[in-house]
């Protein structure tokens, strides 16, 4: 079975060069730090493109397939350009993501708009941009979308998101398929929603169902169950309402390798579960073959990204652990504190040196919980060494903040020995650029001296 990018901790092009330095995309990471500073997000373009190709190749046997990159994992205009060149669509979940896609020149018909509480302004933007599909989550949104579409005298093409009642062995915050979820219609509500569309909402055209059961999933059988549940609903709706759905969206969610203990399935294994399950259920229920839509995000981008930090202060607790502090932390990677996410690390400027001590990698922010990695064995680390945390390409910059008034890091992309900035590093001036001092305070002559 062919190994795919999501199954390797380090990026696709990673290697150790003659200087014992980590190299990605033909670029020495130590030199990248000298040029761009730290913290620094580094993305391997070849790895991203290779993963896109793996998805297209793995699912090509089904026939009519569109892979939608779940852009919430990491979205910039440069990433949109890559996805466009690789012939993927986009799963967008906000007005900002729609605007970014549009601004990058993306084909908006290949954008599918998800979200459990789309604002009227976001819906209007989506309709103005002519997004391909709007995935509807609830009865309020059905009514709102139909109203706005009617005012504009257009028909909105939609999918209905359902919660299929499948629970996965993943973190509670990234489960989405269980019945008690903020996302989607539960199955008991589905027929009522379909009937409203058929009888009341003349400006909505229902193309199919959407389900996403969660993220960082290592299991395969849950997807067989998911296909079976959706296909059964297609058959019921066809029999009862005479509606033949033309699309089926199975979401994304397959896991990635963050640590050596992780054992995610490959993209090809994912396809070898999905395609036979679809074929079997299409035949079983006598359905027309629907277009298959998938929404991978993390599995496309995560393992092609690393974060580089400089080591700073250190502390040896008496009869306790040793802390190594880096010049970033929960502001640029909140996942360990939010999800208890696990990572590994290496010292980029001495990759093959002997691992001599067990340390805890701590962030610089004023929170005791600002810990990136607990108890990892690494070479002896001195201030100024470059700590690399791999598999940080997804949900790191996307969830980054300016906590403690820290400017957000730069992001660069590397390819065949070249490095390019795709997100500029924020400055202190950027931090205050949206601050406003009211006129009454600006004119105040008060002084406490």
169-180: average pLDDT = 45
Q: What is the mean pLDDT of residues 223-231?
A: 94
Question: Is 366 designated active site?
Answer: yes
How many angstroms separate the CA atoms of 149 and 144, rounded? 9
Quick one: pLDDT at residue 182? 77
Model confidence at 179, in pLDDT bands (50, 70, 90)?
low
Pairing of strands 111-113, 133-136: parallel
Per-residue confidence (pLDDT) for residue 180, from 0 to 100? 61
| Per-residue model confidence as pLDDT tens digits over 138-157 | 999 999 999 999 999 999 99
Which pLDDT score is estimated for 354? 94
Mean pLDDT, the chain, integer: 94
* Catalytic residue, candidates 51, 366, 388, 448: 366
Q: What's the pLDDT tens digit per position in 337-391?
A: 998 999 999 999 999 999 999 999 999 999 999 999 999 999 999 999 999 999 9
Note the pLDDT of residue 175.
40
CB-based burial, 224-252: b 16+ in 10 Å, e otherwise: bbbbbbbbebbbebbeeeebebebbbbbb
Region label for 395, one of left (φ > 0), alpha (ψ between -120 and 50) or beta (otherwise): left
pLDDT (average), residues 221-234: 94
Q: Give per-residue pLDDT as tens, 9-30.
A: 999 999 999 999 999 999 999 9
Alpha-carbon span 432 to 436, nearest angstrom: 8
Name the more confident of 58 and 168: 58
Sketch out the chain's domains with CATH numbers: 1-44+305-449 (2.40.37.10), 45-302 (3.20.20.10)
Q: What is the mean pLDDT of residues 105-115?
A: 97
259-308 residue pLDDT tens: 999 999 999 999 999 999 999 999 999 999 999 999 999 999 999 999 99
Taking residue 414's Cβ as centre, other Cβ atoms within 10 Å add up to 24
The mean pLDDT of 63-77, rounded to a whole number, is: 97
pLDDT value, residue 443: 80
pLDDT, one tens digit per residue, over 36-56 is: 999 999 999 999 999 999 999
């Amino acid at each position: 079975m062919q190994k795919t990018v999501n199954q390797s901790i380090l990026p696709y092009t990673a290697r150790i060069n003659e200087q014992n330095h980590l190299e990605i995309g033909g670029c020495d990471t130590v030199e990248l730090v000298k040029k761009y500073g730290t913290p620094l997000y580094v993305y391997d373009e070849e790895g991203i493109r290779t993963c896109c190709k793996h998805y297209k190749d793995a699912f090509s046997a089904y026939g009519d397939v569109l892979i939608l990159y779940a852009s919430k994992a990491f979205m910039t205009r440069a990433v949109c350009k890559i996805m466009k060149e690789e012939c993927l669509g986009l799963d967008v979940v906000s007005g900002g993501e729609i605007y970014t896609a549009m601004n990058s020149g993306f084909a908006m018909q290949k954008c599918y708009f998800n979200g459990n509480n789309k604002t009227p302004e976001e819906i209007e933007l989506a309709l103005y941009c002519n997004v391909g599909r709007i995935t509807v989550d609830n009865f309020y949104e059905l009514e709102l979308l139909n109203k706005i579409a009617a005012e504009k005298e257009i028909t909105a093409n939609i999918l209905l998101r359902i919660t299929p009642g499948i629970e996965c062995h993943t973190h509670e915050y990234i489960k989405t398929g269980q019945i008690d979820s903020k996302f989607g219609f539960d199955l008991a509500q589905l027929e009522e929603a379909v009937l409203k569309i058929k009888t009341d909402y003349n400006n909505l055209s229902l193309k199919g169902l959407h389900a996403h059961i969660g993220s960082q999933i290592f299991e395969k059988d849950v997807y067989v169950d998911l296909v079976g549940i959706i296909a059964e609903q297609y058959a019921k709706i066809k029999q009862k309402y005479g509606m033949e759905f033309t699309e089926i969206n199975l979401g994304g969610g397959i896991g990635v390798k963050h640590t050596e203990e992780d054992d995610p399935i490959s993209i090809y294994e994912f396809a070898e579960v999905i395609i036979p399950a679809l074929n079997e259920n299409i035949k079983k229920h006598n359905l027309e073959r629907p277009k298959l839509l998938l929404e991978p995000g993390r599995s496309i981008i995560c393992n092609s990204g690393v974060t580089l930090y400089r080591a700073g202060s250190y502390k040896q607790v008496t009869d306790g652990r040793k802390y190594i502090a880096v010049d970033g932390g929960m502001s640029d990677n909140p996942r360990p504190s939010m999800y208890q996410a696990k990572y590994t690390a290496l010292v980029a400027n001495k990759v093959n040196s002997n691992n001599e001590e067990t340390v805890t990698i701590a962030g610089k922010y004023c929170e005791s919980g600002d810990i990136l990695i607990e108890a990892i064995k690494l070479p002896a680390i001195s201030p100024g060494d470059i700590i690399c945390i791999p598999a940080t390409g997804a949900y790191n910059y996307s969830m980054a903040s300016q906590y403690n008034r820290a400017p957000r890091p730069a992001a660069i992309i590397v390819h065949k020995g070249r490095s390019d900035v795709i997100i500029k590093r924020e400055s202190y001036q950027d931090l205050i650029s949206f601050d406003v001092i009211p006129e009454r305070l600006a004119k105040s002559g008060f002084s406490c001296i």
